[in-house]
Amino acid sequence: MKKRPLILVTNDDGITAPGMRTLISVMNEIGEVVVIAPDSPQSGMGHAVTINETLYCEEIKIDDGPQREYKSSGTPVDCVKLAVSEILDRKPDLCVSGINHGSNSSINVIYSGTMSAAVEAGVEGIPAIGFSLLDHTWSANFKPLKKYIKQLALNVLENGLPDGVVLNVNFPKQETFKGIKVCRQARANWVEEFDKRVNPGGKEYYWLTGKFVNMDKGEDTDEWALANGYISLVPVQFDLTAYHVINELNNWKLNNFHTNNKK
C-alpha cells in the first residue's frame, strides 16, 4: 500500500484563522497532515526568526482532524524550522502556507510571513506553495478556492518543483475564476506615509499608512491577472543574485589600489 504524502501546513494569520482551517481541510483529502502555525497573527513578519526570546511549541486540538496540530509562539519561519528539526520524523513531501487573508502579489511577497514560510520550506528542500486571497476580512469566502488549491497541490506532488523555487498563488476576491495564469511578479510597490500622532501620555508615535502603486503595464503580471479575474501563479526563487549584473561589476576598477611604501 502506497504511503500517503506527508504535508506540512502553516500560515502567518494564526492557527485559528479561517483561511488556514480551509487549507487544512483540503490537504486532509490528499495526505497525512501536520499543522505547525503561530499562536497569534504574524502578518508582515517576512523571514524573521526568533533569536533573543524563548520559543514555545505545544500540541493542541482545535477540531476532529485527522491532522496533528501544534501552535508556536514563533514566526512562520520558526514554525517551519521547528517542524523540520523537532516535530517531524521525516521530511515533508509538501509544505503549504496560508490561505492568507489579503494579497501577497507583487512586492508584497517580500514582506509576507505566508510566503516566507514557503520560502523557508524551499530552503530545506521541501516543495512549497503559498496561497493568498485578496480579502482581509475574517469572514472571507474561501470555498471557491478549494478545488484549485487541491489541483495545484496534486500537481506539485506529482511533478515536483525545480531546486530553489516555490510557488506564490493569489486569488482575486470573487466567486468564480477564469482560470490559473502563470505570471511574473509585477513591478509595483507601496508608497508609505507615516501618520504622526500623540498618545494620551503625550508621547509621539507613528502609524504606517500608504497606497499601493502599480507601475507595470504588462499583461503577463500577477497584478494584471488578478485584476482580470484570473488566479495568479508566480514561481519565486530565493537566490537573490542579480546574475545579469555580474559582468558589468567585473568591469569596474574594484582592485585598482595603489600602495605607498615610501618611508
Each residue's pLDDT tens digit, 56-68 = 999 999 988 899 9
Domain of 77: which CATH number?
3.40.1210.10
Query: Distances in Å between the alpha carbon of 33 and those of 7, 47, 82, 126, 133?
Result: 5, 23, 15, 15, 22
Considering the domain boundaries, does residue 127 fall inside one? yes
The residue that leads in pLDDT, 217 or 20, is 20
Considering the domain boundaries, does residue 109 fall inside one? yes
Considering the domain boundaries, does residue 201 fall inside one? no
User: What global pTM score does this model have?
Assistant: 0.90
Predicted confidence (pLDDT) at residue 219 exceeds the cutoff of 60: yes
Considering the domain boundaries, does residue 56 fall inside one? yes
DSSP 108-160: HHHH-HHHHHHHHHHHTT--EEEEEES--STT---GGGHHHHHHHHHHHHHH-
Considering the domain boundaries, does residue 112 fall inside one? yes
Predicted confidence (pLDDT) at residue 94 exceeds the cutoff of 80: yes
pLDDT at 157: 98
Predicted confidence (pLDDT) at residue 227 exceeds the cutoff of 90: yes
Considering the domain boundaries, does residue 133 fall inside one? yes
Query: What percentage of the chain reaches a pLDDT higher than 90?
Result: 73
> For residue range 103-124, what is the model confidence (pLDDT) as tens digits?
999 888 898 999 999 999 999 9
The residue that leads in pLDDT, 255 or 182, is 182
Confidence of residue 259 (pLDDT cuts 50, 70, 90): low
Please compute the mean of the pLDDT values over residues 222-250 and round it to a whole number: 95
Give which of 74, 148, 56 is closest to 116, Cα–Cα.
74
Confidence of residue 92 (pLDDT cuts 50, 70, 90): very high
Q: By residue range, what is the domain housing residue 10?
A: 6-186+218-250
Considering the domain boundaries, does residue 14 fall inside one? yes
Predicted confidence (pLDDT) at residue 50 exceeds the cutoff of 90: no
Considering the domain boundaries, does residue 197 fall inside one? no
Number of domains making up the chain = 1
